[in-house]
Amino acid sequence: MKHFLGVDTSNYTTSLAICNEEGIIEKNCKLLLQVKEGERGLRQSDALFAHTVNLPVAAKELGEYKISAVGYSAYPRDNEGSYMPCFLCGKAYAESLGALLGLPVYPFSHQRGHIRAALYSSGAQKLLGTEYLAFHLSGGTTEILHVKNGNIDLIGGTNDLTAGQAIDRIGVMLGLKFPCGAELERLSESAATFQKPKISVNGLNCNLSGLENLARKQYELGVSREEIAAYTIEFILASLDKLTENLINEYPGLPLIYSGGVMSNKRIKSYFTSKYDAYFAAPEFSSDNAAGTALLCFDRYKKDLL
């Protein structure tokens, strides 16, 4: 059986994944990059070093496979000029492997991998090659995308902070370990109440920097950590809800896909699945991973064989 390797070296996760010739993910290995306590992120040079250390470890966890092609995340988005140094490590690994073994090697955007993983894990693979709308919310991205015939166009998103940045900054302020999404969610579940958020949304664009300021004010006033956590999640949910309403008005009738680590939050997922009948990536395919890249490699290899 043929197998296809996906490589993704994002700013906070080293990922390798294997897809078989039936389009099934057999392995999805993810190693988080370590961030010092109290810090809100990593410098690119530190991320590059960590990926160099992690890649051999991840490869051993995958085990032995006869690989037919390699796909890797080469840049953050499909946009021209999109670049982030941490992806150079995955590029070097994938292209070296391809050269040594004589394999086809395919570059993709990290964002495209997130969308492909969401389609796979939500049961929406029927949408491949069609037209749909996608939200991508992660530590580095809060974007609304129009996908048609495989092309990805940016049509909206945040004007300042990303949703993931807001969550991590507030989480670190509350003493949580970076990245803070999972811990913030657990903390929010104990909140008895929280303030109703006043959001800033204009059309298909939003502002999230105010959330950090408002959360800090609550913290200084002695509001409980649980209430601030719940308020943070509710602010992001309400902003996304308004963005989604505006999006549906502009692009009626198109399916909705939600991807990225922020969208693994159970409250957010439950709300949007119920209200909009939207597709969500499964939790293990929401955060940064190479499964989508392995699937893209499989797709591309099949296309090249036609």
pLDDT, one tens digit per residue, over 260-305 is 889 889 999 999 999 999 999 998 999 899 999 999 999 999 997 6
| Contact by Cβ (8 Å): 50, 10 | no
pLDDT value, residue 219: 97
Span 66-94, average pLDDT = 95
Question: Distance of CA 180 to CAs 69, 131, 186, 261, 276, Å?
Answer: 35, 33, 10, 11, 27
pLDDT, one tens digit per residue, over 180-202 is 999 999 999 999 888 999 999 99
- pLDDT above 60 (res 306): no
| Contact by Cβ (8 Å): 232, 226 | no
Reference 33, options 20, 19, 44; nearest CA is 44
Span 230-250, average pLDDT = 97
99 CA to centre of own chain: 29
